[in-house]
Structure 1
Amino acid sequence: MLRFTAGAVLLFGLLCASFAQPVPEQPKPQEFPFEPANALVKYDCTRVVVQADGKSDILRHYRTAVLTDRAIREYAQDVTVYNLQYDTVEIITARVHLPSGQIVDVSPESIKDVPFPAFDKFYLQNVREKIITFPELMQGAEIEVALREITREVPMDGHFDYYDSFEGGDPIKQKYVEINAPASMKFKWKTRNGEIPGVKSTSGDRTSYLWTMENIPQIVPEPGMPPVPEVLKSLVLSTVPDWQTWSHWYDSLSAPEITADENVRTTVNDLIKGKKNTEEKLQAVFYFVSNDIRYVETSLSGRKAGYKPEPATVTLRNKYGVCRDKAVLMVTMLREIGIPADVVLCNAAWKIDKEIPAGLFNHAIVAAYVDGHRILVDPTVEKTKEYLAANEQDKPILVCNKKGETLEYIPVEPSDKNLFEIRADSRLDEKGLFKSVIHISTRGFPDLIMRTVLQSMPPQRRTDLFKQLVQNVHPSIKLDTLSFTDAMDFSRNVGIHVEIHAENYSVPAGSYLLFKVPGQSQTWDFLTPYFLNGSELTKRRYDLRLESTFAVRVEEKVTFPKSYRVRSLPEALDTRFGDFHMARKFESAGNTLTVKRIVDFSGLDVPLSEYGKLQDMLRKNDKMARGQVVLVKS
């Protein structure tokens, strides 16, 4: 199991082993109110002791029963990740309780403290792993760990915040969290996704807050669910009085690094040469920071590791940095050319509560102010013409400046800002030869997806993929032409040009010809299944969360022989609920017919109460896609 100390993200404290209930030496079979599980957490106890300066100690004590072979593999090692700048981790107890009642202590040789391995674009030299390898693990055995984590450095001096979940991937028999702090510290706290019983007590100059739960079912993940932190029963608390304090604090922390030197000035002035207006200048700076400054982290260094950015001058010189470094560089460049800008803290993964000003941020972007309008820009989104990735919609942000701002959410985009459009001109002759010229255009998130795919996929693989795609329409279809716009040309949206033909495409039946128009199905609309990930489930436990709003527009015109006329067309479809709409209709005039298809999803969430309506919509859509055009000899 892998876990991160709060010092790597938040702050920690000291645990009380007395929370652990006595456990029999010889565990007996028990009936628990849980679904079948791979493991059962017998108890998970945490006590945090907070000092007046915000520093804290924690002692965690947990014991887990291993029930299946899968759990043996999952729990063979216990990994705690910590930051040398923030934390010290000490293993107090590590042992295995065998089904026979024998207790096997983990030897010192099986407890390692090693550098955190590099991953993706992160090479963190001062982040380490404390790894416990358990001996003789078998079904029915139980692992027990007690560890102490000492947090030596806090982000905001004199303040403390904390987050803990009361649910996880395995059921939990007992869960305890106690926060013990000076009585003078004023906490705001909230439980999310249901009540967690808690009590408060004061003794002398210390106050304790205790939350407890028992018999907690496991979370069972499913595709398309909201981010796990949004569905977990959890606790969040903070002594920070309001979001304005966070905003002002981070502005003060980053302000010394927003300073231009001659290299910054020369670089940004070269970038804006020939640019006619402020928007073009902003775009030039964005393209440079997003594409030419690599997203790489080599250390979480400095007194405020994980928060304090590198100076803009250093990031430009190194040509790399993470989100906070790139944001500071971009703000510095924009201010240098007279465009007001601020650093913005963000949680790009999940929603956080407005009521509790806790430091649950994991990302940094930029707010630029152009002609009285604020434009949010994410300089980590590479190889795109969009300032933000569409999946950053409805995510919490905090603009950081001297005045101090409050928490807000990125607006949900109109669906047609994330548009996938297909236009086809097709012809069918009397011998059944079908030819079609297809133009595919993109905007917003579809544009970003296609750019990413095109840049990662070799040309032959692209061709093979489209050959497979067209044969899903009809086994005799051949791919004649396939071309793409330059994925690195940000002055235009990604476009795809396709030409196909098929012999014996129509089915003769006496004086009739029968065929299916490719545009009436999802043949060319290969992105809708991506956006509707999770909708394949007939039943769900959680709401369906879409990655982005999106729209699809399909229009295909088919010209057929003048010796035929339309006898019948597939049934029309027009179904909608809430923010979701699907429609398809056929029109005919003379020896031409046109099919128009619309998918318009302008919301991000399909609540459980509405999921049946979505299923009904998709069933109708699939049924209508199977209809055929019937022509009759004139």
Structure 2
Amino acid sequence: MTHDVGPSSWACRYRFATVVLILLSAAPFCFAKQDTVPDWVRDAAAQKLPDYPAETNAIVLLDDTTYSVAANGQATEHYRRVVKILRPQGRDDATVAVPFDKDTKILSLHVWSIGPDGHQYAMKDNEFVQYGYPGQGDFFEDDKVKVADAPGRDPGGVVAYEYEQRIRPFLTEKTWFFQGDLPSVSQTFTLELPLGYSFGTVWAHHEPMKAADLESQRWRWEMKDVPAINLEHVLYRPSELSLAGRMTVHYFGADVPVKTDGTWQSIGEWYEGLAKDRLVATPEIAAKASELTAGKADFYDKAQAISEFVQDQVRYFVIEMGIGGYQPHFAGDIFRNRYGDCKDKATLLSAMLSSVGIHSALMMVDTSRGVIDPDAPSIVGNHMIAAIEIPQGYSSPKLHSIITAKNGHQYLIFDPTWDKTPFGQLEHGLQGSYGLLLEGDQSQIVALPVLAPTLNTIHRTAHFQLEPDGSLKGTVTEKRFGDISESRRRLYVMEDAKHQSDFLDNSLGRDFTTFSVSGFAVQNAATLGKELTTSYSLTADHFAKAMGPLLMVRPRVLGSDGLETDRKVRKVPINLRQTMQATDDFSIELPPGYTVDETPDPVKLDLGFAAYESSIEVKGDTLHYTRTYTVRKVTIPSDEYGDLQKLAGVIEADEQGRAVLKKR
């Protein structure tokens, strides 16, 4: 894999390094005659290694980057990497994949390997495979990748490669991603600048390190024994990039036309130059915005009408080349074609709002919480959304995802790309993270809100009748609202009846052995501002278990809020994904001649980040079970894993609790 695994554009798509995995299985194995590898490869392969855990698949013996900037601002990257394979699962970690496009030409690429038997190989140019960007069936990018599967890629083998590449000079910033999913023995980054240039650095997820001055405008950072970020078997894991250390270099020169000085403001000013003329509303845009807001005077009503149009009627579709990874298309083109990527949709939204007197700005974010570090200004981010300015003095209970800028202005944060999040709210992946408000010289990093659990809800109600033979029948209604309804809305809007039926059967199969469903109905699947409601009649045989004159019945009839935990030592933050609240309200009419002899104890647990309570009440011939499960935070520190385990145990015990019925 290429070493630079950071986000490369704001198209709201998979990172390039991830997509390369799709290609690896197609790359042919290459065989070459006996050759000689360079000395730096042999030296790396011969060094004494630290002890690594038995499950380590591969290790990086050497990772060396030299970033050279010319007097005209052009840059060249020279890179070397040596990987040793320890287990069969590490073969893919030694596959060479170097992405490029028309602005990042690969000037040279060489690949060598040493097999487990000591045989040395040097691959030829005609043994490399070049692919176009694989795509996902609905977009185009000009990124390509050169892939090489070197001979000897087996446990004990070593693969090395070296390339030189011209770097696109979009702005004067370079990020060194020095930590990934493999442990590294040696990491170096060398910066070479022309006379008259200077630089500054910002660090994310790592303490700053001072560079060694090599003189002649050259500086080097060096690290030894960098640990891996291995989250493969970690429950509730955060994003790898939210933990991995990185350093961003901002460099400056008098003759450089596009530069940043290591501040969020300078990045915003750079982006203003890219986007300003793209945000202009055409007469056609103004006419459509006027049509959508006709008869509406309230700010919320006007902003909602336009935002939902862009959310629903502009298809997500990526066409980008070169700077197009960052620069949106013209609003007029986006409107006419009715498609665009995330920055295009945010741009069109801004243009339409401006034509009815509502100001908005673009906002750079990352779809994985924690990747953007407020103390490390850079363009590391993979998504663009909108910040709609709220008029001074205006308030509405419908506005929830609100931030306040330094000048006191308030903005409603909305993502027109996320097509299943109601207007006024923000998808869970962005909550609790940071975004760059792109307002020219007023640009600033802002904390994104964490929404109240009551905006992301599940409410299940059911009324059942239990028969003496243990069979159960009744009616069930489930209502969902907010992000937690997203997958169900997609199911009922986009899938056919068979997929919908299979999903319900699989869901109910977790709680019943034999059952039948009739009268299934769905409401508001496509109406984001209303609760998605499903209802049906249910019959389940053998639900209650007979033990002589007793019947054992589970008051929590269906639906689980269970949590999976393990006994491993927790070292990384716990990603709870989203705030939410789930409530159950079930009643069970007792069989004729039976009374309740024993019920599980009530439960009430509040851990701050989450709370859980349940109770059982018997009124006449009816057993009534209620519970409420609330999650208030999206991320908690690793030292609270014990509390999460406690919560999981309480929920499990409550969900499996049994009431005892006996004959009068």
| Superposed pair shares fold, TM > 0.5 | yes
In the alignment, which residue of structure 1 is the partner of 2:107?
A: 90
2:462 and 2:477 in contact (8 A); partners too: yes
- Matching of residue 381 in structure 1 with residue 397 in structure 2: no
* Aligned ranges 1:170-209 → 2 under 5 Å: 170-182=182-194, 184-195=196-207, 197-201=209-213, 203=215, 206-208=217-219
Could you say what secondary structure the match of 1:465 adopts? helix
Could you say what secondary structure the match of 1:348 adopts? coil
1:218 and 1:576 mapped to 2: Cα distance?
Answer: 35
1:109 and 1:414 mapped to 2: Cα distance?
Answer: 58
Could you say what secondary structure the match of 1:391 adopts? coil
1:343 and 1:366 in contact (8 A); partners too: yes
* Alpha-carbon offset, residue 447 of structure 1: 2.0
In the alignment, which residue of structure 2 is the partner of 1:144?
A: 160
* Aligned ranges 1:418-567 → 2 under 5 Å: 418-430=456-468, 432-509=470-547, 511-519=549-557, 523-525=558-560, 528=561, 535=565, 538-561=568-591, 563-567=593-597
In the alignment, which residue of structure 1 is the partner of 2:337?
A: 318
* Alpha-carbon offset, residue 419 of structure 1: 0.9
Superimposed CA distance per residue, residues 476-515 of structure 1 (whole angstroms, 9 cap, x where no aligned partner): 4322332212422345221110211234543445554331
1:237 and 1:354 mapped to 2: Cα distance?
Answer: 16
Could you say what secondary structure the match of 1:289 adopts? helix
1:516 and 1:66 mapped to 2: Cα distance?
Answer: 52
Change (3 A) 1:260 1:229: same
- Matching of residue 267 in structure 1 with residue 288 in structure 2: yes
1:41 and 1:5 mapped to 2: Cα distance?
Answer: 15
2:624 and 2:71 mapped to 1: Cα distance?
Answer: 72
1:110 and 1:134 in contact (8 A); partners too: no
2:576 and 2:137 mapped to 1: Cα distance?
Answer: 25
In the alignment, which residue of structure 2 is the partner of 1:214?
A: 224
Superimposed CA distance per residue, residues 171-224 of structure 1 (whole angstroms, 9 cap, x where no aligned partner): 2221111223357545442444444754342735x252x221222333322342
1:535 and 1:615 in contact (8 A); partners too: yes
1:598 and 1:624 mapped to 2: Cα distance?
Answer: 12
Residue type of the alignment partner of 1:178: T
2:281 and 2:354 in contact (8 A); partners too: no
Could you say what secondary structure the match of 1:361 adopts? coil
Change (3 A) 1:631 1:310: same
Superimposed CA distance per residue, residues 47-100 of structure 1 (whole angstroms, 9 cap, x where no aligned partner): 11234665321110111223333333543x41111231x312122432222345
- Matching of residue 608 in structure 1 with residue 620 in structure 2: no
* Alpha-carbon offset, residue 378 of structure 1: 0.7
Percent of aligned pairs with the same amino acid: 19
Higher mean C-alpha deviation, range 211-220 or range 465-474: 465-474
- Matching of residue 392 in structure 1 with residue 409 in structure 2: no
- Matching of residue 586 in structure 1 with residue 623 in structure 2: no
Residue type of the alignment partner of 1:415: P
In the alignment, which residue of structure 1 is the partner of 2:276?
A: 255
1:5 and 1:149 in contact (8 A); partners too: no
1:8 and 1:81 in contact (8 A); partners too: no
1:589 and 1:500 mapped to 2: Cα distance?
Answer: 23
In the alignment, which residue of structure 2 is the partner of 1:115?
A: 132
1:251 and 1:136 mapped to 2: Cα distance?
Answer: 50
1:266 and 1:26 mapped to 2: Cα distance?
Answer: 65
In the alignment, which residue of structure 1 is the partner of 2:60?
A: 41
In the alignment, which residue of structure 2 is the partner of 1:17?
A: none
2:366 and 2:382 in contact (8 A); partners too: yes
Q: TM-score when scaled to structure 1?
A: 0.88
1:589 and 1:228 mapped to 2: Cα distance?
Answer: 52
* Alpha-carbon offset, residue 321 of structure 1: 0.9
2:8 and 2:466 mapped to 1: Cα distance?
Answer: 64
1:196 and 1:211 in contact (8 A); partners too: no
2:595 and 2:68 mapped to 1: Cα distance?
Answer: 83
1:451 and 1:487 in contact (8 A); partners too: yes
* Alpha-carbon offset, residue 320 of structure 1: 1.1
Change (3 A) 1:568 1:544: same
* Aligned ranges 1:280-291 → 2 under 5 Å: 280-291=301-312
- Matching of residue 130 in structure 1 with residue 142 in structure 2: no
Q: TM-score when scaled to structure 2?
A: 0.84
Residue type of the alignment partner of 2:449: P
2:46 and 2:391 mapped to 1: Cα distance?
Answer: 71
Which sections of structure 1, spanning at least 5 residues, go unmatched? 11-19
In the alignment, which residue of structure 2 is the partner of 1:368?
A: 388
Residue type of the alignment partner of 1:300: M
2:241 to 229, 244, 256: 229
In the alignment, which residue of structure 1 is the partner of 2:652?
A: 622
Superimposed CA distance per residue, residues 418-463 of structure 1 (whole angstroms, 9 cap, x where no aligned partner): 1111111222245544222111111111122321232343212322
For the aligned residues, what is the CA RMSD? 2.8
* Alpha-carbon offset, residue 150 of structure 1: 1.3
Higher mean C-alpha deviation, range 61-70 or range 424-433: 424-433
1:577 to 607, 625, 644: 607
Change (3 A) 1:2 1:291: farther
2:6 and 2:645 mapped to 1: Cα distance?
Answer: 41
Superimposed CA distance per residue, residues 331-387 of structure 1 (whole angstroms, 9 cap, x where no aligned partner): 000110122211222222242222232111321111112343521111111244345
1:325 and 1:136 mapped to 2: Cα distance?
Answer: 46
1:306 and 1:21 mapped to 2: Cα distance?
Answer: 38
Residue type of the alignment partner of 1:294: R
- Matching of residue 80 in structure 1 with residue 119 in structure 2: no
2:197 and 2:288 mapped to 1: Cα distance?
Answer: 47
* Alpha-carbon offset, residue 595 of structure 1: 1.2
Superimposed CA distance per residue, residues 456-476 of structure 1 (whole angstroms, 9 cap, x where no aligned partner): 432123223323433433324
Q: Report the number of matched residues.
A: 606
Which sections of structure 2, spanning at least 5 residues, go unmatched? 11-37, 252-260, 393-409
1:486 and 1:494 in contact (8 A); partners too: yes
In the alignment, which residue of structure 2 is the partner of 1:14?
A: none
2:204 and 2:247 in contact (8 A); partners too: yes
1:73 and 1:202 mapped to 2: Cα distance?
Answer: 36
